[in-house]
Chains A and B, each alone.
Chain A
């Protein structure tokens, strides 16, 4: 790389059409914009028209932290691909990650700072300047700080130096109320790991090297923790080694994408998955392979979980339980994971402890193909200790209602959409005198803001990230701007630093930009890592070019489970809202790759990506078992009303072959009443009718604890489906072979290179 100043370079590159940087805006607004046919008659030094430039950065579409390489041409981002050097995704990327470009070039982005001019939620805003809006906010924050009033900061789950900045900023304001809120955060998994392993963290689940994966509800190929990494592991375990083909078993009430990929899909009664896990543990102990010194304690604790009693409680056949336990024990190694619905029942922590116990009993802790613990991230201390669970969010709402919150700053998170109506969160916001939103889009929460400080897209910002869950060794990656800012927006870090400067916090935050802050912070990484680079500047450039930094440090742990945990091992009966007479069905709301928690809804590519299980685009639906539909006299496309104790919705029926008869499933993500033209007024949001039941000891929302009733409306509203016939009808399009079959058959001379075709 040459000596060209990067920022200057990016400004030059982007100065063609409307894409001028914030610094240019003032000057540009006075004169008529000049448009060039070829935007750069004199291109910057390292830039040739027609030749793509690639920048490595970090994906910001979900919390997994995949590395990306962005292809830019003439200063515009054209394509996002995975960064092959990044160990999380190794060059691969999911659909949502690919669609990040449409979040950058989204027609509904916020283009400049705004002040609410009408009623809250009316979406009447007037444009303002950064100077004025920041001065307003700083003035208000200073008054609140000096007056001893409460300031809350509610952020999306951020990591690395931005997390550190938020800590210091709130520290400087003398406020304890820094909360991270992510809808999909696995609170119960953290709590379960704390209870069994004494560690409030996510371990690395080594799917790549396992030969037998027992997944309790975790949709690990679609949205659970780190789906791209899990997919890589899945592919490798299936067909990437000379070892036996990996076998995958999925236990869940409604078949997810991972359930479809599994070799065996086993429906278990909602909320009983933990009992099944303890039943398997009982069988493992009975099999005699576990030889730990606490064998007798476990045996005593699990004596009530014989196959027959577990079969009765879970609805899984006793024969199957015995077989699963035996297969799991014999596998070298086997791995058990839990998430999705299992993470979202009232007994989620018990259940996940039971799932983790399986890993403990077959001795795969700290082993390849098992559960590997991570060391603390290199920057920012133990991650996610600020994550707010549902109880914390309800407390926030309660504080607001009591008038105890003076200023609420929201950073790029949308609790108004993802929290149920019953939480009263949206209404509580009305009692907060000042709400400031840092967001790129007019989402439901931002419509409630008094001041909007529009933030950059992740493709325009500096930042860094330590992926969670880690990979068993420390990894850090730098996020760098790949295009110059499109609009009059600012990076979240720069906004915080600016406010900090105005509030006299220069001592703890001396940097004048996020970039400077990062560079300063990465000096520590440079010093601890003794890299090949001769000086820091070389190291910094190397990291920017590769996009990622890693360290070969692995923890060696032995886990000893406390006797009190063993004695108290149990899975409580799941709690459900609504009685079974009036509300006969369990509601199963689920996330998809495309929509995630609803953030994909404003991206047209994601709206047009057919749901893999149903091929539906643009809309909401409710899935039910063919027997259920028959009993209720419902056909595909009939509009039904789904009612819980806390509200009702209307959605069309989709008959789905792999769902339990007493369960109905609805996708999360649609049903926005703001968030731009592609998302708005489309479908329904099942999260809105959930009961405010929390999981014991993790305090997270039990999204699967709501019972509902179904009523036909007599109307039809078939969803738009791209797929055709769902059965093969003898066409043999997808062909199968037996696992144990040996190569054979005849050799057909096709395409002049022989393909061996097996005759059946």
Chain B
């Protein structure tokens, strides 16, 4: 088998949906848009958990925001029938992620839990992944960020502080997943229990719009929500096979 054949064989294996079947978990998030109020608690919880830098007004004005989860807003109709809908947008942890195939140094790859992960010290900052991502949820560090003392005392020791020239994005709070796995191991369990791990955004959501768990466990909350007739994927036509499942907003029109 020559190099090309080997490459193509592993490529086909990689692109096959569900290629990670032999692994233990398939972490999934569901977001019920009928519950989401757009309050932004998830955004701040994420910033606190993941050491996301304070960018400043000037950089924000250049579109260089750093928020791994953001609230997108969409208006429908005109006054007086204008309606506003919110949708939290974060890395979809696609099973067929366009960002992964394009990275020249494999800094972003799929791990054994179905997470789309970013290896910061491998990243060389080509920003190709951000261009390929249809959800626009990858954020680039244009500068080394700075915390005015003593704000840095709040930084989470379980999460790296990223430096200039590195791409970053939502990790599904991989540090919490790791910790939950460790706890399970310490307790002599092979698997993490449903509900044992929650990313910061899911944990804080005041209207309980978000749930998180393992979709390979048919009894998990997320597996049940995925079978809700309201379940859908954003930009499904791009065939990215996301791990974030949205539940449609119910429009209860008067009369």
Q: Which residues of A contact B (CB under 8 A)?
A: 17-19, 50, 73-74, 76-82, 89, 91-99, 101-102, 104-107, 221-222, 227-228, 231-232, 234-236, 238-240, 245, 247, 255, 257-258, 260-261, 263-267, 320, 323, 486, 593-594, 604-610, 612-613, 615, 617-619, 625-627, 657-659, 661, 677, 720, 722-723, 726-728, 731, 733-739, 741-745, 750-758
Contact = CB atoms under 8 A, between A and B. Distances in A.
A260 B154 contact: no
B232 A235 contact: no
Contact of A94 (B41, B216, B254): B41
Contact of B57 (A105, A618, A755): A618
A735 B229 CA distance: 12
A235 B45 contact: no
Contact of A238 (B35, B61, B72, B80): B35
Contacts of B3: none
A609 B35 contact: no
Contacts of B250: 238, 245, 736-739
Interface of B: 17-18, 21, 26, 28, 32-35, 37-41, 43-45, 47-49, 54-55, 57, 60-61, 63, 65, 67, 70-80, 82-87, 95, 148-157, 200, 203-209, 215-216, 218, 223, 226-236, 241, 243, 245-252, 254-255
Given A609-B43, A734-B87, A82 B154 contact: no
Most chain A Cβ neighbours within 10 Å, of B72, B148, B246: B72
A739 B254 CA distance: 11
Contacts of B216: 753
Contacts of B65: 608, 617, 722
B39 A231 contact: yes
Given A105-B154, A736-B249, A234 B35 contact: yes
Contact of A106 (B33, B39, B45, B151): B151
Given A727-B74, A744-B229, A757-B232, A95 B57 contact: no
17 contacts: A79-B156, A95-B39, A95-B45, A107-B151, A234-B35, A239-B32, A239-B34, A609-B44, A612-B73, A677-B148, A722-B63, A734-B85, A735-B249, A737-B249, A750-B233, A755-B227, A758-B232
B62 to A, nearest CB: 9
A751 B17 contact: yes
Nearest to A744: B229
A221 B73 contact: no
A102 B151 contact: yes
A267 B70 contact: no
A723 B223 CA distance: 31
Given A93-B41, A232-B207, A751-B215, A107 B254 contact: no
Contacts of A239: 32, 34-35, 247
A661 B37 CA distance: 25
A92 B71 contact: no
Contact of A73 (B40, B86, B87, B157): B157
A631 to B, nearest CB: 13
A223 B77 CA distance: 27
Contacts of B148: 107, 677
Given A221-B39, A261-B37, A754-B227, A91 B203 contact: yes
A232 B54 contact: no
Given A93-B45, A737-B251, 17 more contacts: A95-B45, A101-B154, A102-B154, A235-B32, A239-B35, A239-B247, A245-B252, A257-B38, A267-B79, A594-B40, A605-B54, A613-B84, A615-B73, A722-B70, A726-B75, A727-B74, A751-B241
A486 B150 contact: yes
B114 to A, nearest CB: 8
A665 to B, nearest CB: 13
Given A236-B208, A260-B84, A659 B79 contact: yes
Nearest to B84: A260
B143 to A, nearest CB: 15
Most chain B Cβ neighbours within 10 Å, of A81, A613, A753: A753
Contacts of B80: 266-267, 658
B60 A722 contact: yes
Contacts of B17: 750-752
B54 A261 contact: no
Contacts of A626: 78-79
Contacts of B32: 235, 239
Contacts of B208: 92, 232, 235-236, 240
Nearest to A625: B79
A258 B36 CA distance: 11
Contacts of A609: 40, 43-44
A271 B127 CA distance: 53
A78 B205 contact: no
Contacts of A733: 72, 74, 87, 234-235
Most chain B Cβ neighbours within 10 Å, of A78, A102, A615: A78
A264 B71 contact: no
A79 B200 contact: yes
Contacts of B54: 604-605, 608
A357 B234 CA distance: 44
Contact of B223 (A228, A247, A753): A753
Contacts of A101: 48, 154
A677 B243 CA distance: 40
Contacts of B21: 752
